[in-house]
């Protein structure tokens, strides 16, 4: 006896694949994921400014198909993708319930509304939070939009508050924490740990220096220039501080020029794919994510913590309330306050033994509380709450 659960998603995502694989493996769930597009390397590289494909399997371990009659392309913008025949496809698939991965694309909203017209429960797992003010018309729009969903999967505390402030009743919200494949990063950290000194030398990081890491797209919302400024300030008292910048993007050239002008000890690795990024975690001593409220979560923090690193994040990063226990798993600071960021970096650099202990605590927290398994538990609880009945498959 199984529940036929369909998922509507815009495209395969490296973070979602383990989630879907775990859903498919859960007893009592018959899963199929429907994608609107399968990106080309050029489409995948938008924001990174370089074409690529993820080097981990995104389509293995679960049943998947394509949404029919999709109009448009996988480009930024709510209306870029449209699928006017979703209702007919959902009916043919014989779904008992639908899960959509947000409302950032028209095709996802179309899927949700088509499912509601068929009388199906609709679960939604979006990333939005209440950390940035919104105009009244957008708040009203969310309240109206949320009528298309019957149950809400909260990825964290700020995400839950966002739903509650939009008028969603508490009994319709279920915990489904945002998570990465913790096991993969734990194993990779153990594998690369013996190579730590060699990795640091390859990236020109002094063996006894304290290395902070930035990993992600080089784009304005992540405020990477704040990190360069904070590094310059922190080095006035801790000259052993180093910075490893992993990624690429529109600010790449400007960041390299700033680091060169200020003579800062920064190594730019370029883009590192999923199987390569654990080497950077092994080489570093702490992660820094100085983003503004556009960083609705920051799964790079999950990755780093699973790899045994403490994290320093701004107070506008979506995961802060969930993952950062100040002084235990990392530190937080007011977004844009480079002096406070410098102080956090200095505090860790002055006591590397404490920093390592905080990294151990960070790993325990993310592995025990923010796992794919707990995320799947939330889906199962929501399906139970929707009184979805299993049937023979």
What average pLDDT does the segment 179-206 reach? Answer: 95
What average pLDDT does the segment 177-198 reach? Answer: 97
What average pLDDT does the segment 323-342 reach? Answer: 99
Q: For residue 75, what pLDDT is reported?
A: 62
Q: For residue 304, what pLDDT is reported?
A: 99
Q: For residue 77, what pLDDT is reported?
A: 73
Looking up tokens 């590397």, which residue turns up? 352
Judged on CB neighbours under 10 Å (0-12, 13-18, 19+), 385 is: middle
What average pLDDT does the segment 155-174 reach? Answer: 97
Using DSSP bridges, classify how beta strands 241-246 and 210-215 pair: parallel, antiparallel or unpaired. parallel
Q: For residue 76, what pLDDT is reported?
A: 65
Q: Which of 282, 218, 206, 226 is nearest to 246 (CA)?
A: 218
Higher pLDDT, 183 or 389: 183
Question: Is the model's pLDDT at 1 over the cut of 80?
Answer: no
Question: Is the model's pLDDT at 388 over the cut of 80?
Answer: no
pLDDT in tens, 113-123: 999 999 999 99
Bridge partners, 4 (sequence order): 30
Contact 388, 96 (CB under 8 A): yes
Bridge partners, 282 (sequence order): none
The domains of the chain, with CATH numbers, are 3-179+371-385 (3.40.50.2000), 182-369 (3.40.50.2000)
Q: Look up residue 299 and give its DSSP letter.
A: H
What average pLDDT does the segment 40-55 reach? Answer: 89
pLDDT in tens, 288-315: 999 999 999 999 999 999 999 999 999 9
What average pLDDT does the segment 84-111 reach? Answer: 94
Q: How many helices (H) and strands (E) does the chain have?
A: 16, 15
Using DSSP bridges, classify how beta strands 81-82 and 71-72 pair: parallel, antiparallel or unpaired. antiparallel
For 244, list phi and psi in degrees, rounded to 5.
-110, 115
Q: For residue 326, what pLDDT is reported?
A: 98
pTM: 0.95
Q: For residue 206, what pLDDT is reported?
A: 79
Interacting residues of 347 by C-beta distance below 8 A, sequence separation 6+: 331
Provide the sign of the torsion angle of the four alpha carbons 13, 252, 231, 197, taken in this order: positive
Q: Would you place residue 46 in the very low, low, confident or very high pLDDT band (cuts 50, 70, 90)?
A: confident
Contact 312, 341 (CB under 8 A): yes
Q: What percent of the chain has pLDDT over 70?
A: 97
Q: Which of 293, 5, 57, 302 is nearest to 178 (CA)?
A: 302
CA distance linking residue 216 with residue 144, whole number of Å: 34
Looking up tokens 């609107």, which residue turns up? 36
Contact 211, 205 (CB under 8 A): yes
CA distance linking residue 109 with residue 106, whole number of Å: 5
Higher pLDDT, 188 or 208: 188
Interacting residues of 79 by C-beta distance below 8 A, sequence separation 6+: 72, 106
* Whole-number average pLDDT of the chain: 95
Q: For residue 293, what pLDDT is reported?
A: 96
Q: For residue 71, what pLDDT is reported?
A: 81
pLDDT in tens, 212-271: 999 999 999 999 999 999 999 999 999 999 999 999 999 999 999 999 999 999 999 999
What average pLDDT does the segment 356-380 reach? Answer: 98
What average pLDDT does the segment 65-76 reach? Answer: 80
Interacting residues of 282 by C-beta distance below 8 A, sequence separation 6+: 188, 189, 192, 193, 195, 196, 199, 307
Q: Would you place residue 73 in the very low, low, confident or very high pLDDT band (cuts 50, 70, 90)?
A: low
Provide the sign of the torsion angle of the four alpha carbons 217, 218, 223, 225, taken in this order: positive
Q: Which of 328, 353, 297, 360 is nearest to 129 (CA)?
A: 297
Q: For residue 392, what pLDDT is reported?
A: 57
Task: For residue 17, give the 3-state DSSP assignment.
Answer: helix
Q: What percent of the chain has pLDDT over 90?
A: 88
375: left (phi over 0), alpha (psi -120 to 50) or beta: alpha
Q: For residue 298, what pLDDT is reported?
A: 98
Q: For residue 72, what pLDDT is reported?
A: 78
Bridge partners, 256 (sequence order): none
Distance of alpha carbon 361 from the chain centroid = 20
Q: Name the E strands within 166-281.
A: 173-175, 210-215, 241-246, 266-270
Q: Which of 332, 333, 315, 328 is nearest to 363 (CA)?
A: 328
49: left (phi over 0), alpha (psi -120 to 50) or beta: left
pLDDT in tens, 17-37: 999 999 999 999 999 999 999
Bridge partners, 32 (sequence order): 6, 63
pLDDT in tens, 105-115: 999 999 999 99
Task: For residue 230, give the 3-state DSSP assignment.
Answer: helix
């Amino acid at each position: 006896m199984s529940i036929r659960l369909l998922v509507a998603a815009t495209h395969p995502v490296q973070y979602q694949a383990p989630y879907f694989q775990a859903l498919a493996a859960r007893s009592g769930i018959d899963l199929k994921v429907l994608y609107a597009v399968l990106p080309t390397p050029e489409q995948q590289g938008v924001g990174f400014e370089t074409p690529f494909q993820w080097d981990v399997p995104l389509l293995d371990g679960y049943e998947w198909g394509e949404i029919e009659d999709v109009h448009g392309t996988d480009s930024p913008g709510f209306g870029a993708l449209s699928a006017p025949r979703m209702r007919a496809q959902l009916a043919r698939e014989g779904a008992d319930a639908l899960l959509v991965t947000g409302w950032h694309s028209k095709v996802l909203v179309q899927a949700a509304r088509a499912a509601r017209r068929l009388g199906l429960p609709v679960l939604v797992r979006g990333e939005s939070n209440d950390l940035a003010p919104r105009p009244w018309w957008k708040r009203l729009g969310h309240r109206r939009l949320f009528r298309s969903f019957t149950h809400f999967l909260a990825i964290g505390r700020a995400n839950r508050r966002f739903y509650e402030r939009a008028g969603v009743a508490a009994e319709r919200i279920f915990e489904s924490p945002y998570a990465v494949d913790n096991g993969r990063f734990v194993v990779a950290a153990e594998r690369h740990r013996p190579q730590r000194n060699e990795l640091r030398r390859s990236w020109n990081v002094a063996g006894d220096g304290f290395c902070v890491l930035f990993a992600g797209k080089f784009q304005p919302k992540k405020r990477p220039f704040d990190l360069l400024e904070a590094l310059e300030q922190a080095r006035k008292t801790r000259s052993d501080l180093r910075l490893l910048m992993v990624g690429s993007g529109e600010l790449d050239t400007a960041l390299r020029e700033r680091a060169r002008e200020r003579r800062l000890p920064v190594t730019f690795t370029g883009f590192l794919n999923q199987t390569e990024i654990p080497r950077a975690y092994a080489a570093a001593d702490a992660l820094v994510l100085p983003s503004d409220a556009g960083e609705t979560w920051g799964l790079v923090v999950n990755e780093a913590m699973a790899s045994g690193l403490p994290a320093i994040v701004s107070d506008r990063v979506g995961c802060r309330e969930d993952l950062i226990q100040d002084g235990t798993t990392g530190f937080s600071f007011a977004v844009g306050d480079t002096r406070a960021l410098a102080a956090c970096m200095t505090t860790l650099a002055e006591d590397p033994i404490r920093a390592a202990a905080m990294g151990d605590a960070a790993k325990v927290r993310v592995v025990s509380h923010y796992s794919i398994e707990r995320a799947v538990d939330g889906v199962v609880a929501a399906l139970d709450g929707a009184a979805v009945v299993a049937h023979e498959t």
